[in-house]
Structure 1
C-alpha cells in the first residue's frame, strides 16, 4: 500500500454542520486500517489525513466519498507521499 497525504482546506462556503460527518468518515477509514494520521490545523483553516491506498486512483476514489468533498465546502488535494 502507498501513502497519500490529503490536504483539506475550508472554502468560503464551508458548512460547519459537515464537520461531524467528515470526522465519522475518517473514523470509519481508521477502523478499516486506511488512516495513519489525521487532524485539524491549529488555525482552523482545514486539516490533513494520511491515507493508505493501492494507487492514486483508489486514493482519489476514497477521497471523493468524503462528506467534506461531497459538500463542496472544502478543497481537497491528494499527494502521493514517500515519507520516511
Structure 2
C-alpha cells in the first residue's frame, strides 16, 4: 500500500449449500493456493462438522475481498454461500 497504512484483513465465511458438490473442493483449494502465492491469503481451514470453512484475506479494500470471494469456485459453482467481513484481527 502506498500510503503506509496497515493492510486490512477480511474474514470470508463459506457455508455449504444443500446442493454442495464435492467436486468443487479441488478447484477451491487450487484457488486458495493461488491467493497464497500472491500474498493475499493469511490462513484457511474447514470446520470440523463439514458445514463449511473460512479464510482470511490480506488485501487493501472490502471491494477487493468481495471480488475475490465472487471468483472463488465455491461461489461460481453455487455450492456455498460466501460472506465477507472486515475483520479487526489482533
Number of aligned residues: 84
Structure 1 stretches of at least 4 aligned residues deviating more than 2 Å after TM superposition: none
1:79 equivalenced with 2:76 (yes/no): no
String of CA shifts for 1:40-71, please: whole Å, max 9, x gaps.
Answer: 00111100000011110111011111111101
Partner Cα separation in structure 1 for residue 68 and residue 59 of structure 2:
9
CA drift at 1:83: 0.8
TM-score (ref. length: structure 1)? 0.97
Q: 1:36 aligns with which of 42, 49, 74?
A: 42
Q: CA RMSD in A?
A: 0.6
- Which consecutive unaligned segments of at least 5 residues does structure 2 have? 1-6
- Which consecutive unaligned segments of at least 5 residues does structure 1 have? none
Q: Could you say which residue in structure 2 is the equivalent of 1:7?
A: 13
TM-score (ref. length: structure 2)? 0.91
3-state DSSP of counterpart to 1:61: helix
